[in-house]
Chain A
């Protein structure tokens, strides 16, 4: 579904990605793990056309999207829920959801998708007239995911969905991610520091460190790998 091929990316003179390659198969959940500053967000920005690689290519559903603009990548079915959630605090909850369905592939299905989103997140239905800025952190993450679903994506990328949320809400969010993957058949790439949670839902994972992929494998292998345990799981 998504393939990053040997990405080299720099901010001015400072190179932050050194040949990152990864692949996400259709209908799977894949995790991208790594600590702060490893280059996770840069990887995602490059995938979404918000940064241009100096070398390497991005493929989505077999098409080269390396030079495409962000909005057309989004319209083609790849949706990112950014670390900063990506909700519009001055707009109402309902308007936020409607804007999720901005692209032409999603707009005709808007009402139907909205019903679905309200079933998954009943709280959003109750709060639809409220400004998004008044929501709690957990509600805002639900809105961010709900907004992503409105886009009818073929693939969803979630950047640090657990960031700043209470543990109970985190496991809620991950349940929803699994549900979306199974019921809506949406491919998921989840980028996390919360390695435990991520490996629980993902079937395969990549480990990013200092701008390079330093390890990868199925979740079971990684969970039983002693080095991984020490470095990332704190066991």
Chain B
């Protein structure tokens, strides 16, 4: 096997991993703060993907430009979902929240899929722009433009999120609520509002991921669970409480997948993540970058 092939595979691993990382950011945020596991996170990614797709298909809006609609739209969807469903769950104690959210998430996943088949049709779609097949070539390596954009967007996003969480009052309130909601409310923080903002933000992040999926790969009504699973593996790998850690864990998963495909053949690709999932859970349950007490 030539070093060229290895290098190219590792590069694609990093690029697909960046997308895994972005897909996991919202799930991690919501899980870390609300202690609810939103299994329907992948459905929100799908919805974001379709929103971008239709904006491109019907109105010829560039997918990257469509983010100015898609991200607020998913923020709104998150707000509605929170009001309608998750706000009721977070009244329960934290152990109960996970169980209840799993059930609700599964329900939402089924509903999301069915509605998507009904209204978006079951065909696989992708956004094919003029620059979709463009790529940079250097030292014999091929770097597809739209995939590279995921890495750049991911890095910028993590920096912005980090600044938001550490420099703004809302961000600090979110971190405080994540650690201890009771003490947060005793500090004068409106915990319910913090939960709402966090959930909506998590949904908005899913929308952004969805746009990238529809540009880089393809979307169909049943992609939701696949992306939830990827995001979940990344969250377990990273642990809670660190946005850069989550993104990095996504990149690691991408690298692990492509390198295992090189070593054992691509049929084992999907299994690698799940094996990692089990190993990490059994030897380091707080994840690679997680807080000890999270």
Alpha-carbon gap, A23 to B183, bound state (A): 25
A80 within 8 A of B: yes
Q: Is B173 a contact partner of A102 (Cβ separation < 8 A)?
A: yes
* A 68-90 contacts with B by CB, 8 A: 69-71, 74-75, 79-80, 82, 84, 86-90
Task: Judge whether A90 and B291 touch: CB under 8 Å.
Answer: yes
Contact in complex: B189, A99 (CB < 8 Å): yes
Complex interface: chain A residues within 8 A of B182 (CB): 50, 82
Q: B180 an interface residue at 8 Å Cβ cutoff?
A: yes
What is the size category of the interface that chain A forms with chain B?
Answer: 20 to 34
A88 to B293, CA, bound (A): 11
Which residues of B are found within 8 Å of A102, using beta-carbon distances?
169, 173, 187-189
Decide if B59 is an interface residue (CB 8 Å cutoff).
no
B contact residues, range: 20 to 34
Alpha-carbon distance A69/B172, docked complex (angstroms): 20
| Residue from B175, B184, B187 with most neighbouring chain A CB atoms (10 Å) | B187
Classify the secondary structure of B's interface with A: helix
* B191: Cβ under 8 A from any A Cβ: yes
B190 cross-chain contacts in A, Cβ below 8 A: 69, 71
Residues of A within 8 A of B184 (CB): 99
Q: What total of A-B pairs shows CB separation below 8 Å? A: 67
Proximity bits, A5-45, B CB within 8 Å = 1, else 0: 00000000000000000000000000000000000000000
Asked if B16 CB lies within 8 Å of chain A CBs, one says no
Known A71-B190, A102-B173; contact A89-B185, beta-carbon cutoff 8 A: no
The residue that A91 contacts in the complex, of B175, B185, B188, B189, with Cβ under 8 A, is B175
Max chain B CB contacts within 10 Å: which of A86, A88, A106?
A88
**CB within 8 A of B183: which of A86, A95, A133?**
A86
User: Which A residues are CB-close (under 8 A) to B175?
Assistant: 88, 90-91
A86 to B186, Cβ gap below 8 A? Answer: yes
A74 x B188 contact (CB < 8 A): yes
Write the B114-144 contact mask toward A (1 if CB under 8 angstroms, else 0): 0000000000000000000000000000000
Cα A50 to Cα B185 with chains together (Å): 9
Bound complex: CA A99 to CA B188 (Å): 9
Q: Does B33 contact A (CB under 8 A)?
A: no
A selection of 21 A-B contacts at a CB cut-off of 8 Å is A50-B185, A71-B185, A71-B191, A74-B186, A74-B187, A74-B188, A84-B183, A86-B186, A86-B187, A87-B183, A88-B179, A90-B179, A90-B291, A90-B294, A95-B172, A99-B184, A99-B187, A102-B173, A102-B187, A133-B293, A151-B188
